[in-house]
């Protein structure tokens, strides 16, 4: 299926979901998500303007890490809009935070990273990752967790079916 008015990239055509080539890989950063899912690369950087990182991650079964604007230099890669952010696609959360540790930073000429220097912890982000076997020993005591009770934007019939099912499960 085409994304917006783009059915095929100018040179290489449309990337395919590596798990099911009949499914849409979703979004303008679909090459980033597909390349990680197909094990062509260990990690890829994407740019989130709308759902350009989230969509390919969800459709291609990869981890997507989107930071608060200002943690990664340059905010967005090409667009410098207030909502644009760089994102990271990896196979695992540990890989994604390791990449974040490697590329986070401050650039005095970048208006987004010049402001929130205090957002970046002194410890590496990877030090906060908890192994699956240790999760039960690391409760979220004192943490506030926000839960979206209902997804309101349902662009397609597929969105309606998936969103309604998720809404029911969350409420239950």
Whether 29 contacts 6, CB under 8 Å: no
pLDDT of residue 115: 61
- The CA-based angle 2-49-6, given to 5 degrees, is 20
pLDDT at 3: 44
2 pLDDT more than 50 = no
Q: Could you give the CA distance from residue 70 to residue 113 in angstroms, rounded to a whole number?
A: 4
d(CA 105, CA 130): 23
3-class state of residue 66 by DSSP:
strand
Residue 68 pLDDT: 76
pTM over 0.85: no
Residue 95: partners with Cβ closer than 8 Å, 6 or more residues away:
42, 43, 63
- 32 phi/psi in degrees, rounded to 5: -65, -50
pLDDT, position 136: 79
Residue 32 has pLDDT above 70, yes or no: yes
At 99, is the pLDDT very low, low, confident or very high (cuts 50, 70, 90)? very high
State residue 162's pLDDT score: 76
Q: Which residues of 8-37 are buried (b: 16+ CB within 10 A; e: fewer)?
A: eeeeeebbbbbeeeeebbbbbbbbbbbbbb
Per-residue model confidence as pLDDT tens digits over 58-84: 888 899 998 877 777 665 565 566 677
Residue with tokens 């930071």: 67
114-133 pLDDT, tens digit each: 665 666 778 888 888 888 78
Phi, psi of 6 (to 5 degrees): -95, 110
| Mean pLDDT of all residues belonging to the chain | 76
Q: What is the pLDDT, as a whole number, of residue 97? A: 92
As a whole number of angstroms, the distance between CA 157 and CA 93 comes to 30
If one counts every other C-beta atom within 10 angstroms of the C-beta of residue 165, the result is 10
| Domain ranges, ordered by start, for the chain | 1-130, 139-172
d(CA 170, CA 82): 31
Return the pLDDT at 157. 73
| pLDDT (mean) for 150-163 | 71
Q: Cα separation of 80 and 112, whole Å?
A: 9
């Amino acid at each position: 299926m085409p994304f917006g008015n783009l059915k095929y990239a100018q040179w290489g055509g449309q990337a395919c979901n590596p798990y099911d080539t009949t499914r849409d890989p979703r979004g303008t950063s679909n090459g980033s998500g597909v390349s990680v899912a197909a094990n062509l690369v260990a990690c890829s950087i994407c740019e989130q303007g709308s759902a350009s990182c989230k969509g390919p991650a969800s459709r291609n079964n990869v981890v997507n890490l989107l930071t608060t604007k200002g943690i990664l230099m340059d905010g967005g890669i090409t667009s410098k809009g207030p909502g644009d952010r760089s994102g990271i696609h990896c196979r695992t959360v540990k890989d994604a935070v390791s990449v974040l540790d490697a590329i986070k930073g401050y650039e005095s000429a970048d208006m987004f990273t010049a402001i929130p220097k205090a957002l970046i912890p002194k410890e590496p982000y990877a030090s906060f990752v908890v192994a699956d076997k240790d999760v039960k020993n690391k409760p979220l005591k004192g943490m506030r967790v926000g839960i979206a009770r209902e997804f309101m934007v349902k662009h397609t019939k597929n969105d309606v079916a998936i969103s309604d099912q998720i809404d029911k499960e969350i409420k239950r």
